[in-house]
Amino acid sequence: MSWASWTTPGVYTGRGGVLTQEVGAVTGDLTVHTTWADGEARVAVQYTGASDWFTMSGSPVPCSSEAESRDLHEAAVEAVRAGHEATVPALPHPPA
């Protein structure tokens, strides 16, 4: 089994914050965490320094590779910074 994870602390949300499955929108100083395993990526956020994690709406996402999941993590961080009730963004797939 392959797996990987990334964590980016200190991500300030844009206006409108991030939508989560558990508590709706959250705003402020967040940590974004992505875990990739078994062909899917799960994205969660927490208030930086807190113990509770919240699933970012739109997670989990099918991801075929570790590299694709890393790109998804970076896109999720940028979505959090943009705000507007951000959800996990769709990754563009190269043409077949």
Q: Per the domain annotation, does 24 fall within a domain?
A: yes
* Predicted structure pTM score: 0.92
The count of structural domains within the chain is: 1
The answer to whether residue 67 is domain-embedded is: yes
Residue 91 counted as domain residue: no
Residue 16 has pLDDT above 50, yes or no: yes
Among the listed residues 49, 42, 68, the one whose alpha carbon sits nearest the alpha carbon of residue 10: 49
CA angle 8/11/15 to nearest 5° reads 150
Q: Is the peptide bond before 60 cis (omega within 30 degrees of 0)?
A: yes
The residue behind tokens 């043409």 is 95
pLDDT number for residue 80: 97
Residue 64's domain comprises: 3-82
Q: Is residue 54 part of a domain?
A: yes
At residue 82, the 3 state secondary structure works out as: helix
Give the residue from 17, 77, 13 showing the smallest Cα distance to 41.
Answer: 77
Residue 56 lies inside a defined structural domain of this protein: yes
pLDDT for 29-40, tens place per residue? Answer: 999 999 999 999
Q: Is residue 41 part of a domain?
A: yes
